[in-house]
Structure 1
Amino acid sequence: MALATLGVVVLDCPDPRALAGFYAEVVGGTVEGDGDWVDLKVPGGPSLAFQAASGFVPPEWPRADHNSQQFHLDLTVDDMDAAEKEVLALGARPLDTADRSRTWRVYADPAGHPFCLCAC
């Protein structure tokens, strides 16, 4: 028996509403709330929450010696090239373009958190 269940994944960021909007465009769902805490209710999955953090410094990937990534989201997609085009248009930036034949690609969201697009 588990000790706990996953309630929500929370990302610190400078602008909770904007980052919730980015992820709503990527994974779907409904953005709820305003101010220092904004929720993204994702159909069929765990919710994401975005919390204002003054002095937020985005992680650097892949630098373990300085403000490392801490965690990242893996997002499964059907068409890697189409998904990449969409997330870049939404404000993501590529973090690793070395091997485009892999089954994953690494990006940073608009606040700088790393995430991966992964082939099904």
Structure 2
Amino acid sequence: MALAKLGVVVLDCSDPRALAGFYAQVLGGSVEEEPGDSSWVDLKVPGGQALAFQQASGFVPPRWPAPDGSQQFHLDLVVEDLDAAEKEVLALGAKPLDSEDRSRTWRVYADPAGHPFCLCAC
């Protein structure tokens, strides 16, 4: 029996609304925030795990790859068509980190705040 249940995955960033908007365009769902509080924004993903975005003063994005540090975490996003999904996330502001090897079933990008994520073929 589990001790706890995962509530939400929270990403630190400098602009929660902007990063929630990026992931809403990638994953779908609705961006929700409390009126007057821009320090925390939720993304409710239909049929999936919710994400939250928290404003962190002095936010420094993880480096990937970083031989002297850790990427801390990353999201694996499953897609039907890697090439089409890549085109879309790049248009939304993602940056390629490791996407040159087209023989693999996954590619690595950074979201607009610098968090690594992978597009993975299903």
TM-score, reference length from structure 2: 0.95
Aligned equivalents of 1:61, 1:104: Cα separation in 2: 15
Runs of 4+ with >6 A deviation:
none
Root mean square deviation of aligned Cα? 0.9
TM-superposed CA distance for 1:40, in Å, is 0.1
Report the counterpart of residue 110 of structure 1 in structure 2.
112
TM-score, reference length from structure 1: 0.96
Q: Which runs of 5+ in 1 are unaligned?
A: none
1:1-120 paired onto structure 2 within 5 Å: 1-33=1-33, 34-66=37-69, 68-120=70-122
Q: Which runs of 5+ in 2 are unaligned?
A: none
Aligned equivalents of 1:91, 1:55: Cα separation in 2: 21
TM-superposed CA distance for 1:100, in Å, is 1.5
